[in-house]
Amino acid sequence: MITATQKSPTIQDDSWIASSCALCYGSCSILAHRVNGVVVKIEGNPKSAVGKGKLCGKGVSGIMTHYDPNRLTKPLRRTNPKKGINEDPGWKEISWDEALDEIVGVLAQVRQEDPRKLVIQRTTTVMASRMPFHAFAAAFGTPNISASGAGLHCGNAAHLISGIMHASWSVVPDFAYCNYAIYFGASKGHSAGHASCSNMGLAADARARGMKMIVVDPIANFAGGKATEWVPLRVGTDAMLALSMANVIVNELNSVDRPYLQARTNGPYLIGPGKRYMRDVKTKQPLVWDTAANAARPFSEVAAADMALEGEFIVNGVKCTTSFTKLKAHLTSFTPELAEKVCTVPAASIRRIAREFSSEASIGSTITIEGTTLPHRPVAAIAFRGNQGHMNSTYNFIAVNLLNHLVGAADVVGDAWALILHAKVFRKRGSYAMYQSLMTTAS
């Protein structure tokens, strides 16, 4: 018997090639075993943090896709312009040179007229395709590029809101440090969801370390099977549950991260009649109340600690109030008792989970990692498909994400983290601002 390392005279080439799996956006690191120019096996690459040497069944079977006799290896041109269910597209194989000449000809013409006329909608599914597309768009001169599932939106608002708030495709608990995670219709790290192989190992380690996992879901599959506590609720009522928890945290426990809300959200922005920001006449910036100067000033000119988070003020003869004050008042209508009727989750459970979440957030705490001291909020509220496979997708996701922002648990150690960073995590005036604007739009 000849092993891979004992080359027979007929084996000229026997190598392991490091690459990455392109069968989903997990992009797990792989090693392809090539013998005499033929890939004979695909394994995970244990030296890489992405997948840590593990692959899912689809990844292992990538070899079948690679050598599928029906795999497309040449460009096809549609010859029948008529489209319809019973129309044969009339695909005709053409050479790569022919295809490239044709495409480049059209692109050159568009670029000459106005590069912005090129709109690129790129796939989300393959990591290897993301950066080249962006580099191409930049080189071409068009800003019009977006990622989209092109109608296959399993994440719906998760992608929209995570993109705006976390510069990310989605959010997951920071498994290495999170101590308390609430999953609203999500299964990340439990044999489903993004970066499946990497996250499964991380989630398993987190559970072994003692991370509590509260799974809010009408059905207890995937994550529910591993949960510390399964909280069943009526389908599609996640926003009501999350807002009633927010109400408890804000109005009953008063357990919010004030410095975070001052520095990182629009909580201190002044809202005038008509539910719009009060703005500085010159700079058009939203105004905040500067407690040191006892006057309204553009937010960029005021130290965060001096911004009034709550209160009513008169600015230029107009009565206004802070955005956070409005949120507090708005949340009062979402009582746990009402949520119990809508969601079927007992009010006592809602209060307990909200209390546990805000208490485990350890507001104000820091942690030192490799000599750097960072904010530490070891809680995360995440959501995904189960939370938003229906018309209230955006409201459900944003209400869940609001929980993180109330306790300052967004893109710091232990909290709800950007799953896939597009470039850099921009610490924006976050989900809270988005919630406010959606609230205004809805009312």
Question: Which residue, 27 or 187, is less far from ligand SF4 as judged by CB?
Answer: 27
- Least separation, in Å, of the C-beta of 58 and ligand SF4? 4
- Least separation, in Å, of the C-beta of 166 and ligand SF4? 21
Q: Around 65, how many Cα atoms within 13 Å sit in the side-chain half-sphere?
A: 11
- Least separation, in Å, of the C-beta of 59 and ligand SF4? 2
Question: Which residue, 17 or 329, is less far from ligand SF4 as judged by CB?
Answer: 17
> For 317-336, b where at least 16 C-beta lie within 10 A, e where not — what string?
eeebbbbbbbbbebbeebbb
Question: Which residue, 21 or 249, is less far from ligand SF4 as judged by CB?
Answer: 21
Question: Which residue, 197 or 216, is less far from ligand SF4 as judged by CB?
Answer: 197
Binding stretches for ligand SF4 (CB under 6 A): 21, 23-24, 26-28, 51, 55-56, 58-59, 196-197
Question: Which residue, 51 or 286, is less far from ligand SF4 as judged by CB?
Answer: 51
- Least separation, in Å, of the C-beta of 28 and ligand SF4? 3
Q: Which of 169, 159, 174 is nearest to 206 (CA)?
A: 174
Burial (CB < 10 A; 0-12, 13-18, 19+), residue 2, is: exposed
- Least separation, in Å, of the C-beta of 47 and ligand SF4? 16
Q: Point out the residue whose Cβ comes nearest to ligand SF4.
A: 59
Question: Which residue, 130 or 376, is less far from ligand SF4 as judged by CB?
Answer: 130
Burial (CB < 10 A; 0-12, 13-18, 19+), residue 338, is: middle
Question: Which residue, 56 or 270, is less far from ligand SF4 as judged by CB?
Answer: 56
Question: Which residue, 55 or 350, is less far from ligand SF4 as judged by CB?
Answer: 55
- Least separation, in Å, of the C-beta of 51 and ligand SF4? 6
- Least separation, in Å, of the C-beta of 21 and ligand SF4? 3
- Least separation, in Å, of the C-beta of 63 and ligand SF4? 12
The residue whose two tokens read 């890489």 is 48
Determine the longest span between alpha carbons in the chain, in angstroms. 93
- Least separation, in Å, of the C-beta of 22 and ligand SF4? 7
- Least separation, in Å, of the C-beta of 200 and ligand SF4? 9
Question: Which residue, 21 or 308, is less far from ligand SF4 as judged by CB?
Answer: 21
- Least separation, in Å, of the C-beta of 43 and ligand SF4? 10
Question: Which residue, 197 or 242, is less far from ligand SF4 as judged by CB?
Answer: 197
Question: Which residue, 28 or 353, is less far from ligand SF4 as judged by CB?
Answer: 28
